[in-house]
Structure 1
Amino acid sequence: MYDCIIIGGGPAGLGAGLTLGRARRKVALFDDGTNRNRVTHESHGFITRDGIKPHEFKGIGLKELENYPNVSYFNKTIIEIGREGNEGNFIVRTRDNEEYVSEKLLLATGIQEMFTIESIRSFYGKSLFSCPYCDGWELRDKPLLILAEKEEHVLHMVKLIYNWSNDLMVLTNGKELSHEGMQELAKHNIEIKIEKIDELIGEAGYLKGVKLESGEIINRTQGFVAPTYYRPNYFAEKLGCEIDEKGRVMTDPRCRASQKNVYVAGETRKPIPSSLMIAAADGNKAAVSINTDLTEERF
């Protein structure tokens, strides 16, 4: 019987585990190694850890949790979550058919990317990236591709990335832009290719070029993409948590979901990406809420 089960061992889950461990709570942290940044060579923007490899960051976090014997880490996949009654304890079942019980539940499973061109995955995290705050410095002043299909994504990415490099080429994979959108990019001499993409050329994750359906080869080797994002599991929905029309799990300012004793932290709350630092801070905030609620309920 645990005070809290945390599902997800990214920065939000690790941060929550550390805070709850130091609060002397009995915690079970579950993670199956499917974190979104596992394909990234380096993570940036976390003060004192700028440029750290994601697996190293995670390893340091898990090592720190070893100082707290009341925190247990399980490298297991959760496949089902149930409750004892409508608002009773949570029963968590793993893929190997083991069950764990807790009073509180923190969902910190993060999100995953979807690409309309599946082969982008082969280059993602090595030569194609999604976040200029994370990787823009390394690509500064280089000729870059921007692969985006929706006009709002095209304009957002172009305006943002122009800060790091003004040598940009936009590929929309067959999607037309409005006359106003085309004019806005033309003002900054940004070339746009509307034609559909035939294939991405390269090896070992490093792009050599992009072949269009006409046979034209775009000889650019790095750039940014605009994925869409989704939660890889539906635990929040299955537990009956309120979800808004944009897919955000509705919480109060203290990370409490609409279902009693369910808390949500990090990218799981709203399916958009966040930095390591923001996710870790959100995990800390959720852990303080959990500990405060346990304290008030048991005093």
Structure 2
Amino acid sequence: MLDCIIVGGGPAGLNAALVLGRARRKILLFDDNRPRNAVTQESHGFITRDGATPAEFRQLAHQDIQKYSSVEFRTERIATAAKHADFLEITTSSGAVYHTKKLLLATGLKEVLPGIPGIEEYYGRSIFSCPYCDGWELRDQPLAIISEDEDHALHLTRVLWNWSRQLLVCTNGKAALSPEFKHVLRSRNIAYSEHPITHLIGRSGRLERIRFSNQEEASLTGGFIKPDWFQSSELGRSLGCAMNPSGGLLTDEFGRTSVAGVYAAGDTSVISPSQVIIAAGEGSRAAIGINTDLAHEEF
């Protein structure tokens, strides 16, 4: 019987494994090695690791955790999870079955990019979703704000204004901007287009121009978008975990879900803001909750 199985080897799962390993808990961490941030060139905003690549971050994390022999890794996907009275039963895609006292879901999110031809080539290189992760690198450059939602477009415009005054708001033909929003943009000399985007033009993932359906073009070197996010795993729902309004698993301050013995951390529970340092902190907090609950039950 394991103390805890962790599903997901991103920052949340890895930091939870570190804390639980140091607490002398017997842990199995499952990871299928398909991280959402694989397209990211560098990670930012994590003190002592600013600018590290996701691969470097994972390598260093594994080195830290390997000092604790009670933690083991498996490169395999979890197929099902079932709740029993005193334990959880986990079945892998290969049919292996494990029993554990606690289960931590740190499976993260998947994202759907706006329906713009070729956007995948630029995402993670010159088009991003988080200004706090990549705004500094694009400071003072001509940038597109691509959002099909006016409220988000206004929020992103306000935030990016401190990084660059050369902004172009694009709704990709999906929304008509209100007269009030247009007035705000004009008062700050911010351009906008409500036409669909037909082409992204550039080289090696570096944006140079955007072409619209009316054949107009804008010269830009980068931009920010609003992807749609959804849970990358259905394990939480299959176990009956309640969801929060943003689409993550509902948890308390120590990662406990509505199902006893099941915990969640990182983007699985806190969808926004999505940052490495926040996910790692959530993993640490959930690990403390898991160890505390185990200690109370054993004492």
So what's the TM-score if we normalise by structure 1?
0.95
8 Å Cα contact 1:231-1:271 kept in structure 2:
no
Quote how far apart the aligned CAs of 1:165 are: 0.4
Quote how far apart the aligned CAs of 1:14 are: 0.5
Equivalent residue for 1:104, pick from 102, 116, 128: 102
Q: Return the letter of the residue paired with 1:103.
A: K
The SS at the match of 2:62 is helix
Quote how far apart the aligned CAs of 1:45 are: 1.0
Q: Return the letter of the residue paired with 2:290.
A: I
5+ residue gaps, structure 2, are none
Match of 2:45 in 1: 45
The SS at the match of 2:25 is coil
Q: Return the letter of the residue paired with 2:134.
A: D
8 Å Cα contact 2:46-2:277 kept in structure 1:
yes
Match of 2:112 in 1: 114
8 Å Cα contact 1:111-1:273 kept in structure 2:
no
Quote how far apart the aligned CAs of 1:203 are: 4.0
Query: Which residues of 2 match residues 284-295 of structure 1 at below 5 A?
Result: 284-295=284-295
8 Å Cα contact 2:26-2:70 kept in structure 1:
yes
Q: Return the letter of the residue paired with 2:99.
A: V
* 2:195 is the counterpart of 1:180: no
* 2:104 is the counterpart of 1:94: no
8 Å Cα contact 2:30-2:73 kept in structure 1:
yes
8 Å Cα contact 2:114-2:226 kept in structure 1:
no
What's the C-alpha RMSD, in Å, of the aligned pairs? Answer: 1.4
Quote how far apart the aligned CAs of 1:259 are: 0.4
Q: After TM superposition, which residue ranges in structure 1, 4 or more long, deviate above 6 angstroms?
A: none
* 2:249 is the counterpart of 1:249: yes
User: Which is worse superposed, 61-70 or 30-39?
Assistant: 30-39
Match of 1:82 in 2: 82
Query: Which residues of 2 match residues 232-247 of structure 1 at below 5 A?
Result: 232-247=232-247
User: How far apart, CA to CA, are the structure 1 residues paired with 2:113 and 2:86?
Assistant: 39
5+ residue gaps, structure 1, are none
User: How far apart, CA to CA, are the structure 2 residues paired with 1:195 and 1:281?
Assistant: 41
Q: Return the letter of the residue paired with 1:47.
A: I
Q: What is the aligned residue count?
A: 297
Q: Return the letter of the residue paired with 1:40.
A: T
Quote how far apart the aligned CAs of 1:286 are: 0.5
The SS at the match of 2:21 is helix
User: How far apart, CA to CA, are the structure 1 residues paired with 2:153 and 2:244?
Assistant: 25
The SS at the match of 1:230 is strand
Structure 1 pair 245–137 and aligned structure 2 pair: CA distance change class (3 A):
closer
